Structure 1
Amino acid sequence: MKNKVTIKDVARHAGVSMTTVSLILNGKSKRFTERTRQKVFEARDKLNYVPDFNARNLITNAVKTIGVIVPDIGNPFFSTFVKSIEHSAMEENYIPLILSSNANKELELKYLDQLVHRSVNGLIIASPSTGQKEIDSLLKKNHIPYLLIDQNSADGDRVMTDDALGAKLAVDHLIQLGHRKIAMIMAQNPTDNLKRRLQGYKNALASHHIPFDEKLVIPTEMTKLGGVLAAKKLIQTEASAVLTVNDEVALGLYRGLNMAGKKIPADYSVVGYDNIDLDEYLNPPLTSIAQPINDLGFYAFKLLCQRIDQNDGPAQEITLPVKLVVRDSTTKR
């Protein structure tokens, strides 16, 4: 990747001084001829120059900013992830700009555009809405370094966890407890990392010679309400155990099963995914697949800083381990 286009580049291309470029682009162009103004605007457009608004407020470049976009800051997984980035950024004298898109692609694109125009030094994107098209048109064009968190399929540096293994560990655990009818509550529109969890679920069944039953895969929203609604569908199956696509859904499933008069784990053994802090405070405490959320934030920030300092070279990918944390929401069949 090339370095970010500066006002000096625009001035050189237009054959004028940096002061002239600054005055014209900031609306103070009356003193200049139409030809001079046109040369500056043409140079700006050709070079895809974005004014560095931060430079107006910062005397030096001692403080840098990064943008962080997550789909839902209210999800405990992402709030913990963001806290980890904030901690790492503070130590390196960076200011993180945290934005939650609420899974709204239009809002997310607006955020991306605004972050570009505010000349952030880099971006961490943990939302599936941003694809290769948006990255090419908004980020690569303006030479802004970025990093993706496992659910995005575009090119670029990436930090991820072993989703397939995580789901397999969960299902293996339930099978070892004697369960054979195991449901999975899945996202309605799964991203790449969630598809890998579904594949891990299938792999575990196959390794134990248990046929895959599509009716046991229950699609729902990745929210607590989605978990409540999924409980009704789960009860209509023959399943005695269930893996949820994340802990947020598991929280809702607890409520949905309780409303239906069902008990965990007596009626259903439940395994979540993420191992958020709330899991051990549920009744019963939730068995879950632990993702190293703090490490995800740490390595995401570390890789992005490396890319900011040296914005070239091949894309890097870090895959972090997962583990099963057994609590009281699972029991023998």
Structure 2
Amino acid sequence: MGVSGQSATTRIGLAEIARLAEVSEATVSRVINRRPGVSTKTRATVERAMAELNMTRPTEGEMVLAIVPELSNDVFTRLAEQIEAELSPFGLHTLVCAALPGSSKERDFAAATVGVGIAGAIFLSASNTLSRGDHSAQQMLRDRRVPFVNVNGGAGGIPAATFSTNDWRAAELAIDHLTALGHRRIGMLAGPPGNLLADRRIEGFFAALRKHGLDDENALLERQLFTVDGGRRGGDLLIDRGATAIVAASDRMALGAVNAAFRRGMSVPGDLSVVGYDDSPMLDLTAPPLTTVRQPTERLAQHAAQALHVLISGNHVNEDEVLIDPELRIRSSTGGWAEKPRKRQKPQARP
């Protein structure tokens, strides 16, 4: 027996489900039509009642494609989990796929899932972070009238609701903290060229230096991959150029810079202060615990999931980019600095 539509048979179906689940018919209708206003526990009770009565509804349109650049990075895993939690009350579920930004996998995943009837898609720091990336997946979804939203960067001018961490503010928070500690030779480890988020953090870095009256003409800037090795290489270069503090564009890069200092016999934060970006869950356990700028993942997930649900429901959302401020988490990798000579060892050979 079906449960959708407005026929007399449907009304009987709704009444049976409501009686078994001990809820109102209006609640059953909200569950069936994936409307908000129903708790997760109540929704599960209604779903069980439907199963006991052998009543089904079409499954097409329940799945949301979530594309991330990788799953080994805690911040992307956390974002995907939080989006799933936000979508679940609407009866929607996420299918998480990892696709290296700039590869053809995004379009492949989008094409395959559109064929089975996804409800929508979310791009989480994927090709939407590239200024000149391949945005054919987003264009295909738009052409097929499948709603999608972006997290952390738009998609090459293709209109879509976008929710991003305010990366200009992220750089400013780090510089404000380090200058208050007395640092004046502050270096930045940024991501590779062509990455929209890296470019924004660099702009914020320069603006913050100027705000504090620091010379940005010979700014200590290195662009590397968002990896530990990239942070180690860039850290070595910045230390050689006299940086007393480093602002990194990811926690992995920051830990690489810490390692570069340790290999020279330097202490952190005694000889070098380091600030990361993301706030990975294990940072309290690093040695030293890493000061970092925390991405507002909960708010990003909430905004993105709610906007996508509105689109799936056939309503309009604003397609301007919404910037959400991060926060600074101060731990033990940053400390005060007074101008003083310091002895640096040459980098040790890597085994």
Match of 2:150 among 145, 148, 151: 148
The aligned counterpart of 1:200 is 204
Q: Deviations over 1:10-64 (max 9, x none)?
A: xxxxxxxxxxxxxxxxxxxxxxxxxxxxxxxxxxxxxxxxxxxxxxxx8524861
Compute the displacement of 1:119 (Å).
2.0
Q: Would you say 1:294 and 2:302 are equivalent positions?
A: no
The aligned counterpart of 2:175 is 171
Q: Would you say 1:252 and 2:250 are equivalent positions?
A: no
CA contact (8 A) 2:60 2:117 kept: no
CA distance in structure 2 between the aligned counterparts of 1:214 and 1:105, rounded to whole angstroms: 35
Compute the displacement of 1:93 (Å).
1.8
The aligned counterpart of 1:38 is none
CA RMSD of aligned residues (A): 2.1
1:118-133, aligned counterparts within 5 Å?
Answer: 118-130=116-128, 133=135
Q: Deviations over 1:185-204 (max 9, x none)?
A: 01112422322211111111
CA distance in structure 2 between the aligned counterparts of 1:278 and 1:100, rounded to whole angstroms: 22
Unaligned runs of at least 5 residues, structure 1: 1-57
Quickly say closer, same or farther: Cα 1:214–1:150, change in 2 above 3 A: farther
CA distance in structure 1 between the aligned counterparts of 2:179 and 2:330, rounded to whole angstroms: 14
Amino acid at match of 2:147: P
Give SS of 1:297's match.
helix
Amino acid at match of 2:258: Y
Give SS of 1:288's match.
strand
Identity of aligned residues (%): 27
The aligned counterpart of 1:225 is 229
- TM-score w.r.t. length of structure 1: 0.77
- TM-score w.r.t. length of structure 2: 0.73
Q: Would you say 1:186 and 2:184 are equivalent positions?
A: no
Compute the displacement of 1:96 (Å).
0.5
Give SS of 1:105's match.
coil
Quickly say closer, same or farther: Cα 1:132–1:305, change in 2 above 3 A: farther
1:1-333, aligned counterparts within 5 Å?
Answer: 59-61=57-59, 64-130=62-128, 133-135=135-137, 137-153=139-155, 154=157, 155-214=159-218, 216-312=220-316, 314-333=318-337
Q: Deviations over 1:58-94 (max 9, x none)?
A: 8524861100001121111111111101222233221
CA contact (8 A) 1:244 1:273 kept: yes
CA contact (8 A) 1:116 1:138 kept: no
CA distance in structure 2 between the aligned counterparts of 1:286 and 1:314, rounded to whole angstroms: 37
Q: Deviations over 1:206-234 (max 9, x none)?
A: 01111114551111101122112222212
CA contact (8 A) 2:276 2:291 kept: yes
Unaligned runs of at least 5 residues, structure 2: 1-55, 338-351
Quickly say closer, same or farther: Cα 1:115–1:214, change in 2 above 3 A: farther
CA contact (8 A) 1:77 1:274 kept: yes
Q: Deviations over 1:138-180 (max 9, x none)?
A: 1111001000112234321011121101111111111111111
Whose relative contact order is higher, 1 or 2, with alpha carbons under 8 Å and at least 6 apart? 1
Quickly say closer, same or farther: Cα 1:218–1:177, change in 2 above 3 A: same
CA contact (8 A) 2:60 2:116 kept: no
